[in-house]
Amino acid sequence: MKVLISGGYDFIGSSLAARFLKEGHDVTVIDNLAHGKHRKTAGGKYKFYNLSGSSPECEKIFGAGRFEIVIHIPEYESMSITPKKSPAPEDILSRCNLSGLVNMLDLSTKNKVKKFVLISSSEIYGNTGEGPASEETAPDPVSLKGMSSYVMEYYCSRWGEINNLTILSLRVSNVYGPREQVSGSLYRPQDEVSIFLDKIIRGKGIIVSGYGTQTRDFIYIDDLIDGIYKASLNKNCSGIFNLSSGVERSVNSVVEDLSALKKPGKIIYQQSVREKIQKSWLDNSKISGTIDWEPGVSFEEGIKLTYKWKQLQKEDRKSQRLGREKAGARQKKKPFKAVAYIENILLFIFVAFLQWGNLFFNIKLPVLKIDYSIIYIIVMGIIWGQTQAYIAMFLSAALYIGMSLFAGADIVTFVYAPENLIRLAAYILVGIITGYSIERKNRELESRNFSIQNLQDKYAFLLNVYTETRIVKNELESQVIETEDSFSAIYKIVQEVESLQIEKVFSGAISAIEKIMKTDQVSIYTLSSDGNNNFMRLKSRSRALLDRVPNSIKISDFDELRQVIQTKSTYINSNFKPDIPIMMAPVLEDKKVIAVISIHSTPFENLTLHYENLFQTVIGLITNALKRAYFFEASLKDKRYVPDTRILTPLTFEKILKEVKNSKAEQGMSYTLLKVERNGKSLQEISERVVRVIRDNDYVGISNDNVIYILLSNTGNNYAGLVLERLKKAEINASLVEQELDDE
């Protein structure tokens, strides 16, 4: 099964991904690494995308992934500090990152995800009072996290109702266990057990809010992951479920249990701090009764496992820290990169020699009307940028001032000489312009490099999606002959209706049409044998249509149905009329309509000419199977019935009863079995009177112990009283078979 986990690098997400991988599922993870670090999850390989749940790029991932289950773990901001005043609604929405949830729901609907799982919080209940909070307990959040969970649950519920998306909301209690919650290089435990254990291991004191009398429901991480995994895969698990240990435990008792492992430095009670949630305790009986799940790790055992894990992690972090310190020391020993400054000094000395060397050395340098200092400033700016240009500018100005004073000029004359000020201004102007120009060029290059890097990242992302899509495409291309609507697949599926028993053909036809037409809403109604009856009787239907279609239909009430029977052609509900199936087709025997097969609903994109032609092809194959079954029944009429009666022989009746029971188990088709009292009547007399009372699709049979039974097809025990009354009027006494009551 293909599973997407949004927020798969936090504590719960990474553990959940590992569980799905261990069970052999195809896992994809979306996370922006705000609450975790990029690491390969133990248990197998998975696809990872460094994205936020609200990113538009997620659409490409959904398009290529074809996920069946999406699990969304919200990205809560830090909400441990209770605000002094109630937060504004927009503040709650921003803290619970509703945009990520909306994007996941929207993409799940568009890509036909079968199930959407939201990991909610027990804080939605607020204070639970004396007893545990059940799923029927009204939410009363008093914390930001609880309010955020309430908003997200309501949004998911309404979205699921409007868009026909199965929603599972799991309200998780306080989870603890071995984990490494990392943000960058900062280790940040978040649950109370981990915080207390970290303090104990480091020999520090424990800080307890209030008096420590507040209670929580702690669940071990392995138990939590097992519950989420089983609930996500269970088809009957939808709606709201609590996922907890079901045990209320005070913070003081937690401190005592942890102190038994290692005594803390001291215990400090912040009595001035009063938490709003004083009691938090959840009832987990609903999820335990729905799926095969029970908490398996006690709190005492769980904290021991967590303590051992944290000790090992402490040793690992210590060795890593020592390694980083050694690496940092080696890095400090490396010589400082001063090439730019060295080149600047060397070039300055060379320029000074060219410019003023004749004042110190008995050499005659060529006289050029060029200021070498300006060239020096420009060269340093071009090569090394703004900083070195400014240094060259100041050195040149200092050199000119110093050499002028050394040559005999006094400071007053130097300041008032215009050519000196112009020379200095030229140095400053050239330095600033050169430095600014080079810096501007460097910034443009950095901006372009950044844009190129973004494009490369986007290209790498698209290439990754393309590669995965191409792999899937190649797999599908190689398996095209095995697709559901290929001729070979249709032939294999239609083999299910290749039977000489009419009941088996009808029940097999439902399964075949569901598989080929990719729908779960199919019904078959039969007409009376004389063709003059104005009613059709329900013969078989999909389980999804239980209690949604009537047992009998009056043909004259539906013009479309009458049109199908009169014209003997397929009807397409192109106008989407309510209470009318999307497609209806007749089943013919000797140019007479004996049944009508209907598809009540199918996804809109299936309504194509190919789908219509495929439906007609399947109906033709099923019609041929029914013809063979009817012909076989007619040819063996003498062997199927007791002579001169309509009573089935024991062997034939047993086969039909067995097939009817199978239809009930697979499709939920009800039936009723009546036992007839003979009271001295002959089989011929009983047959004549019973046949006048029952319908065409009901059966009368005799068992091996010579007992006569009436099998009422598609009739519940609660309607059997009407048939018993009609039989009594026909002077036939019958009773409901008691053992069949257990089947209803």
In this prediction, residue 478 carries a pLDDT of: 55
Average pLDDT rounded to a whole number, residues 406-418 = 78
Q: What is the pLDDT of residue 637?
A: 64
pLDDT tens per residue across span 149-167 = 999 999 999 999 999 999 9
Model confidence over 437-465: pLDDT tens digits? 888 888 888 888 888 887 887 787 777 77
Residue 243's pLDDT band (cuts 50, 70, 90): very high
Residue 359 has pLDDT above 80, yes or no: no
For residue 43, the model assigns a pLDDT of: 42
Q: What is the mean pLDDT of residues 391-401?
A: 88
Q: What does CATH list as the number for 487-635?
A: 3.30.450.40
Question: CA-CA distance, 487 to 232, in Å (whole number)?
Answer: 35
**pLDDT confidence of 72, banded at 50, 70, 90?**
very high
Would you list the domain boundaries of the chain? Answer: 2-325, 339-452, 487-635, 641-743
Fold agreement between 2-325 and 487-635: no
CA dist., res. 15 & res. 18, Å (int):
5
- 475: confidence class by pLDDT, cuts 50, 70, 90: low
Residue 232: per-residue pLDDT: 93
Is 60 exceeded by the pLDDT of residue 134?
yes
Which range has the worst mean pLDDT, 75-84, 316-325, 599-608?
A: 75-84
Q: What share of the chain is helix, strand, coil (3-state, %, to 5)?
A: 50, 15, 30
3-state secondary structure of 463: helix
Contacts of 439 (CB under 8 A, 6+ apart): 385, 386
Kindly state the DSSP code that residue 636 receives in the 8-state scheme.
T
Q: How far is CA 18 from CA 40, 50, 226, 576, in A?
A: 9, 18, 11, 46
Q: pLDDT: is 170 or 264 the higher one? A: 170
How much is the pLDDT for 75? 73
Give pLDDT tens digits for 303-333.
898 888 888 877 776 666 666 666 655 554 4
The Cα 533–Cα 525 span in angstroms is: 13
Higher-pLDDT residue of 228, 725: 228
The pLDDT value recorded for residue 118 is 94
Q: How far apart are CA 315 and CA 322, in angstroms?
A: 11
Taking the alpha carbons at both ends of the chain, their separation in whole angstroms is: 34
Kindly indicate the confidence band of residue 42, based on its pLDDT and cuts at 50, 70 and 90: very low
At 519, list the tokens: 């729908």
Q: Rounded CA gap, 554 and 540, in Å?
A: 17
Distance CA 61, CA 469 (A): 10
Lowest mean pLDDT: which of 100-109, 229-238, 408-417?
408-417
Give the residue among 159, 338, 125 at the shortest CA–CA distance from 244.
125
The residue behind tokens 């995994």 is 229
**Separation of alpha carbons 619 and 498, rounded Å:** 14
Q: Which CATH number fits domain 641-743: 3.20.20.70, 3.30.70.270, 3.40.50.1460, 3.40.50.1820?
A: 3.30.70.270
Look at 84-93, 287-296, 627-636, 666-675 and tell me which has the smallest mean pLDDT: 84-93
> 71-80, 134-143, 334-343, 698-707: which has the highest mean pLDDT?
134-143
Distance CA 399, CA 574 (A): 93
The pLDDT value recorded for residue 487 is 58
Please state, rounded to an integer, the average pLDDT across all residues of the chain. 80
Exposure on the CB side of residue 454, measured as CA atoms within 13 A: 6
CB neighbourhood size of 609 (10 A): 7
Q: Is the pLDDT of residue 189 over 50?
A: no
Q: What is the β-pairing status of strands 535-541 and 552-554?
A: antiparallel
The tokens describing 67, both together, are 């996920």
Contact by Cβ (8 Å): 524, 595: yes
User: What is the pLDDT, as a whole number, of residue 264?
Assistant: 80
- Report the alpha-carbon distance of residue 531 to residue 568 in Å, rounded: 13
- What is d(CA 298, CA 461) in angstroms, rounded to the nearest whole number? 44
pLDDT of residue 233: 92
57 pLDDT above the threshold of 60: yes
Task: Classify domain 2-325 by CATH number.
Answer: 3.40.50.720
Percent of residues, the chain, with pLDDT higher than 90: 16
* From 109-113, 361-365, 392-396, 734-738, the region with the lowest mean pLDDT: 361-365
Per-residue confidence (pLDDT) for residue 211, from 0 to 100:
83
Cα(284)–Cα(500) distance, rounded to whole angstroms?
A: 51
**542-589 pLDDT, tens digit each:** 888 877 888 888 888 888 888 888 888 899 988 888 888 999 998 887
Going by C-alpha positions, the residue among 90, 47, 85, 50 that lies closest to residue 66 is 47
Tens digits of residue pLDDT in 21-32: 888 888 999 888
